Structure 1
Amino acid sequence: MDKQKIEDMFSSAINERGISEKLDGISKFVIYKWRNNKSQPSFGDKLNVLYQLGKIEIRIK
């Protein structure tokens, strides 16, 4: 999976309703700022959100 696909998946994920109840350690206010481009999440934050939502999984080779 490339970086652009992760960016697209993240953008789609944060626009879902009720996402803050599904995420541990990320407040409604932070999600609001991300949605409205008031702050930019780190790439690690994007991966964390997608992982917590079950949209990606980690495999160890």
Structure 2
Amino acid sequence: MGSPLPHSPATDGKDEVWTVFSTQSTPGLQHSNQLFGGFIARNEATTGGLLHAYWGQMCKQ
């Protein structure tokens, strides 16, 4: 469910971002009993660092 976004040949892949998503219920990052309807997360491809993430209704905005 993840794929690198296209990048400019001039950057030689240095700015690749992986997008991961799901439509399944997920708890998000906080430790609580609340579930959200899906998520989208974008990570820097070389380090795996989280760039941003959205859960539930925020995915549709």
Q: TM-score range by the shorter chain?
A: under 0.3
TM-score, structure 1 length as denominator? Answer: 0.25
Structure with bigger gyration radius: 2
Query: Structure 2-normalised TM-score?
Result: 0.25
If each structure's helix is expressed as a fraction of its own residues, which one has the higher value?
1
